[in-house]
Amino acid sequence: MLAGATIPPELSVAASLLALGIGVIFHEVSHGWVANKLGDPTAKYAGRLSLNPIKHIDMWGTIIIPLLLIVSNAGFVFGWAKPVPVNYYNLKYGKWGPIIVALAGPATNFLILLLCGLLYRISPENTALPFLFLMIGLVNTILMLFNLVPIPPLDGSKILFLFLDKRPDIIARLEQYGMFILLGIIILLPGFLNQAVFVPAFMLTAAIMGVPLADLLQIL
């Protein structure tokens, strides 16, 4: 549908920001919503079950990093929202409770991808809608896969901790230094992030949208 299309830069930036906002807000709200269903109302009492963007702004992840990427012409926009507070001791199902809450975010991003795949197929051609749904789907796929990386504070770390439940010392160290490890991988090993997140994200998005991978890479 978009083969050979030329996307104006301003439309690409606007679509990226909208896609990022939708992805990170629904991701975080889903954590709080599932936590509330499992017995922890912390996010609810903090007003974090709202879809109001102001409630979820993180100075670095929502403002500074996306703006720096736009100004530097990085070719993509990425970021995150303020994490919702969760008291894991209030959750049902023992050690499985934190995992269910953690997976709620990536699962929501995947559902958004599926919805965008449907909307993309029924969108009228010669409008901005196909590109918009394509961008929202891609950004949500990237968020899903990135958050499944098993390094704290990402959601995938909760799955890793399930296998380390008898080694609280290792868990404590990972939680303490996880952010530095993650930043080190992003800065020093961009190839790993590319192969683990971005390449699969483009392939999955192309498959769900029914778009040839070459066309997806060309228009983005």
Residue 106: its pLDDT value, please?
Answer: 97
Asked if residue 47 lies in contact with residue 55, where contact means CB atoms within 8 angstroms, the answer is yes
Name the residue among 78, 18, 116 with its Cα closest to residue 198: 78
In a domain, 189, yes or no: yes
Give the position of tokens 């990135």.
146
The pLDDT of residue 90 is 95
Q: Look up 175 and say whether it is catalytic.
A: no
Is residue 2 in some structural domain?
no
pLDDT of 83 > 80? The answer is: yes
CA pair distance 193, 151, nearest whole angstrom? 13
User: What is the number of structural domains in the chain?
Assistant: 1
Segment 188-208 mean pLDDT: 90
In a domain, 51, yes or no: yes
Q: How confident is the model at residue 206 (pLDDT cuts 50, 70, 90)?
A: very high
From the list 129, 107, 97, 100, the residue with the least C-alpha distance to 116 is 129
Q: Are 157 and 173 in contact (CB under 8 A)?
A: no
Residue 4 falls inside a structural domain? no
Residue 1 covered by a domain: no
31 domain residue, yes or no? yes
In the set 10, 28, 125, 175, the catalytic residue is 28
Rg from Cα positions in the chain: 18
* Full residue range of the structural domain in which residue 201 is found: 9-219
Q: Quick one: pLDDT at residue 76?
A: 65
